[in-house]
Structure 1
Amino acid sequence: MVVKAEISKSKQILGDVIFELQNHSESLHWFLSYDRLSELMEMRKEDCLRRIYQFRSTKPQMSLSGGFNEIDGEYLIDFLAAELELEDVSSAFLKGGIFFGERPLYELRESYKSLIQKTVENHRLDKELLLLLATATVDYDDAVDSYLMDKFEIDFFVQRTINIFLDTRKIRPEFGAEEFLKEYLNALIPTKILNFRDITKEFRDRTYYELFGRIRKEKPKKRKIKVKLNVEIEELLAFFDLEADAKVPDVKKKFKELLKKYHPDINKKGEEMTKKIILKYNRLILLMGEAG
């Protein structure tokens, strides 16, 4: 009975923390001070801080900024899981619609790809239109792009993916989840991660064979892409006021500094800037990974 009571108490505290974040969440931006966390966990402030410092010793990349924000979501989840001895903290945050870890975001990306692939696979091909576009362009991919953009809208795929994602996982959308996921997907669509041509490659190869009766040859990769990539990295580094030789840890450090300055909980006029910082940070980290 004692064990059940402890579990019940832990779940109550977890529910209180999630409720607190929901009440202060705007487009999935939130901040939970260490002082407020200690109150929710019914602990003395000194004891709570001591445990947070002990926890940080196992998470060297975690910064101590007076509290947890949405960027530190994984850390807050791990801290609560350890302190409350609960295994479903990440799932509770997800269903509460206040934080999305890497795993659910990966599943969202895969769902987006799958939706597009199934849609174009079941599409009744308008051969005359596609052939007309193909003969009017040098690059067959350009013709397919024009064809698909005429038949479908990317916004439809984005919204449909999000609706299914939220519904099947029973995620509460009213605290900014839908807006956050839409921004997340739209930020990745121009990148290699959700490249439209890669997603529809099978459709492109199949329709090429149907139109011309031969297998499409792979195009040699253009080296210019690397040059453009480097230019974009330089522009993003300049946004974060970092030198060209900056590394990922430097970017993360600068990112946290800017969030502390512009986060809506600190700067009432900083919401738009915060969104821009997050989008540019995600893009820069992605590009730095691709650049090796």
Structure 2
Amino acid sequence: MVQKAETKKAKQILHDVIFELQNVSESMQWFLSYDRLSELLEIRKEECLRKVYQFKSAKPQMTLSGGFHEVDGDLLVDFLAWNLELDEVAEEFLKGGIFFSERPLYELRESYKSLIQKTIANHKLDQELILLLTAATIDFDDAVDSYLMDKFEIDFFVRRSIHQFLEKFDIHPEYGAEEFLYEYLKSLIPTKILNFRDITREFRDRTYYELYGRFREAKKKKKKKIVQTVTTEVKDLLAFFDLEPGANITEVKKKFKELLKKYHPDINKKGEEMTKRIILKYNRLVELIGS
């Protein structure tokens, strides 16, 4: 009976934390100070700080900055799950529309890819148009790009996959989730993570066979040139984050969080555009380092 009462109280505290973040959230950007967190946890500030420092001992990547920003959402989720002894913290944050961990974001990316592939698979090929475009371009993929852009709107796939995602997880969209997810997907489209040609590869191969009656040959990769280009790009991206060559993912993430906090709209009213640049460059750098 006592355990049930404690669990019920822990769930109420979690609800109060989420409600607090929803109230202060602007386009899913928020800050929860340790002072306010202690009030929500119904403990003294000293006790709250003791718990935070105890938690940090197992999270060396965590930086102490007076509280948790949205970029520390994964840490806040883990902290609350540990402190309240609840398993559903990440799920409730997701439903509350205030923070998305990597797992649901991965699911969103896969849903976006699947939506494109299913839509194009059911599309009746306009052979006259694709042949015309092929004759007007040197590269077959360029012709297919033009064809698909003529027949479909990328923005439709982005918004449709977001709509399905919000419905599936019953997410509250009024705290900026829809806008956040839109910017998130759009920032990944120019990268290898959501590369349009990779997503539509099967359609391209099938179209080539329908037009010419044979399979197309794989392009020969110029390995040396690619390696040099990637190395230069990584170097430039590391320089943007004020990091030395050879920096690992943990160091990149730490710098990423520091920069986001510096240009957070709550601190820097002119930092919105810079924040978008930081996120785009971070996604690209993580992609290159991890590949």
TM bin, normalised by shorter chain, reads over 0.9
* Equivalent residue letter for 2:13: I
Measured in 1, the distance between the counterparts of 2:172 and 2:232 equals 40
Q: What is the identity, as a one-letter code, of the residue corresponding to 1:22? A: Q
Distance in structure 2 (CA, Å) of the matches to 1:154 and 1:63? 38
What residue in structure 1 maps to residue 48 of structure 2? 48
- Distance in 1 between residues matched to 2:248 and 2:43, nearest whole Å: 39
Please give the alpha-carbon distance, in whole angstroms, between the structure 1 residues aligned to 2:190 and 2:65. Answer: 33
Root-mean-square deviation (CA), in Å?
1.6
Q: Does 1:136 align with 2:136?
A: yes
| 1:199 alignment counterpart | 199
Contact 2:162 2:182 in 1 (8 A): yes
> Which residues in structure 2 correspond to 1:88-103 (within 5 Å)?
88-103=88-103
Which deviates more, 51-60 or 239-248? 239-248
- Provide the rounded CA distance (Å) in 1 between the counterparts of 2:245 and 2:97: 37
CA–CA distance in structure 1, aligned partners of residues 218 and 117 of structure 2:
20
Normalised by the length of structure 2, the TM-score is 0.94
One-letter amino acid of the counterpart of residue 280, structure 2: L
**Distance in 2, Cα, partners of 1:210 & 1:160:** 29
* 1:125 Cα deviation after fit: 0.6
Structure 1: how far apart are the matches of 2:228 and 2:179? 33
The Cα shift of 1:285 comes to 1.9
| Partner SS state of residue 64, structure 1 | coil
Q: Which stretch of structure 1 is more off in the superposition, 217-226 or 10-19?
A: 217-226
TM-score w.r.t. structure 1 length? 0.94
**Partner Cα distance (1:268, 1:283) in 2:** 25
* Aligned residue in 2 for 1:239: 240
2:24–2:30 CA contact under 8 A, matched in 1: yes
Report the 3-state secondary structure (helix = DSSP H, G, I; strand = E; otherwise coil) of the residue aligned with 2:270.
Answer: coil
Where structure 2 has 5 or more consecutive residues not aligned to the other structure, the ranges are none
Moved more, 63-72 or 246-255: 246-255
| Match runs of 1:23-172 below 5 Å | 23-172=23-172
Q: CA deviation at 1:217?
A: 1.4
Residue 274 of structure 2: aligned partner: 273
Equivalent position of 2:253 in the other structure: 252
Q: Secondary structure at the match of 1:68?
A: strand
Query: How many Å separate the matches in 2 of 1:185 and 1:273?
Result: 18
SS of alignment partner, residue 284 of structure 1: helix
Q: Distance in 1 between matches of 2:100 and 2:184?
A: 11
Bigger drift between 82-91 and 256-265 goes to: 256-265
TM-aligned CA distance change 1:226 to 1:155, over 3 Å: farther
- SS across alignment from 2:68: strand
Counting matched residue pairs gives: 290
**CA offsets per residue over residues 201-247 of structure 1, 9 Å max, x none?**
11111111111111111111233333332333233223223344444
Moved more, 93-102 or 138-147: 138-147
Map of 1:9 onto structure 2 = 9
In structure 2, distance between residues paired with 1:6 and 1:246: 44
**Could you give the per-residue CA deviations for residues 2-49 of structure 1, whole angstroms, max 9, x where no partner exists?**
222212111110011001111111121111111110100001111111
Whole-Å separation in 2 of the counterparts to 1:141 and 1:182: 26
Of the structure 1 ranges 214-223 and 259-268, higher mean CA displacement relative to structure 2 is found in 259-268
Distance 1:110 1:255 in 2: 25
Q: Which whole-Å CA distance do the structure 2 matches of 1:64 and 1:75 have between them?
A: 11
Q: Give me the whole-angstrom Cα distance separating, in 1, the residues matched to 2:50 and 2:211.
A: 69
Contact preservation (8 Å) 2:61, 2:254 = no
2:263 aligned partner: 262
User: How many Å separate the matches in 2 of 1:171 and 1:219?
Assistant: 43
For 1:188, the aligned partner's letter is: L
Q: Which moved more, 1:87-96 or 1:220-229?
A: 220-229
